[in-house]
Amino acid sequence: MTKIKICGLYRPEDVEYVNEAKPDWCGFIIDFPRSHRNLTPDRVRELRRRLAPGVTPVGVFVDSPVETVAALLNDGTIAAAQLHGHEDEGTIAALRRAAPGCTVWKAFQVRSPADLEAADASAADLVLLDNGYGTGAPFDWSLAGGVQRSYILAGGLTPENIPDAVKKLRPWGLDISSGVETDKKKDLNKILAAVAAARKE
């Protein structure tokens, strides 16, 4: 069964929605002011306390200091760190030293087969293949066939196109954010539909 992450929670009601829908993961965007979903570490800790057991919290970071990421991993606020910036293999190694036993995901913008080669070579526990621009548009899915490891598909996903994505690409997991929003706010019905679509196999 394809796993699914609902990303970009930033309001208490967003947490309530994922508590009801029960995706595998939920995501919090941390210290990235360019996003309307941006949260401070302390706000993430507050929202995390509302999260039901069984939904794994993931922190999404863009070139954040290793110390910031490690602190949230070490205190149990998040169970995995998703790196979305220019973080390299050295950053991943430093994070593992600062938060022993941590789970690290690394996102890759997919533009060419070379991007998939980089994803295959990454020391991250999981890789995420994405458009990368936050446009809500998918990358060229035909490229995804070149990746040699399990991956999470992101970018341009909606409840409507999830079945096609799963059928064609067989990703290990899905990551969806704007596709389950209405007017830039999480929509319970869309979240429920996305989770149902991912698990309909």
Q: DSSP for the chain?
A: --EEEE----SHHHHHHHHHH--SEEEEEBS-TTSTT-B-HHHHHHHHTTPPTTSEEEEEESS--HHHHHHHHHTTS-SEEEE-SS--HHHHHHHHHHSTT-EEEEEEE-SSHHHHHHHHH--SSEEEEE--SSSS----GGGGGG--S-EEEESS--TTTHHHHHHHH--SEEEESGGGEETTEE-HHHHHHHHHHHT--
Q: How far is CA 189 from CA 20, 116, 134, 186, in A?
A: 11, 34, 22, 9
pLDDT (0 to 100) of residue 145: 78
pLDDT (0 to 100) of residue 136: 67
> For 82, what's the count of Cα atoms within 13 Å in the CB-facing half-sphere?
27
pLDDT (0 to 100) of residue 133: 56
Mean pLDDT by 10 residues, the chain (201 residues): 96 98 98 96 98 98 97 98 96 98 95 91 96 71 84 94 93 96 97 96 63
Contacts of 31 (CB under 8 A, 6+ apart): 38, 39, 40, 41, 61, 62, 64, 68
pLDDT (0 to 100) of residue 138: 80
pLDDT (0 to 100) of residue 142: 81
68 vs 165: CA distance, rounded Å: 34
pLDDT (0 to 100) of residue 125: 97
Per the structure block, which two tokens stand in for 193?
């539909």
Q: Which residues are catalytic?
A: 7, 130
Identity of the residue numbered 175:
D
pLDDT (0 to 100) of residue 134: 59
Q: Where do the structural domains in the chain lie, given as residue ranges?
A: 3-198
Hey, which residues does 154 pair with through a beta bridge? 175
> For 60, what's the count of Cα atoms within 13 Å in the CB-facing half-sphere?
24
- Fold of the domain built from segment(s) 3-198: TIM Barrel (3.20.20)
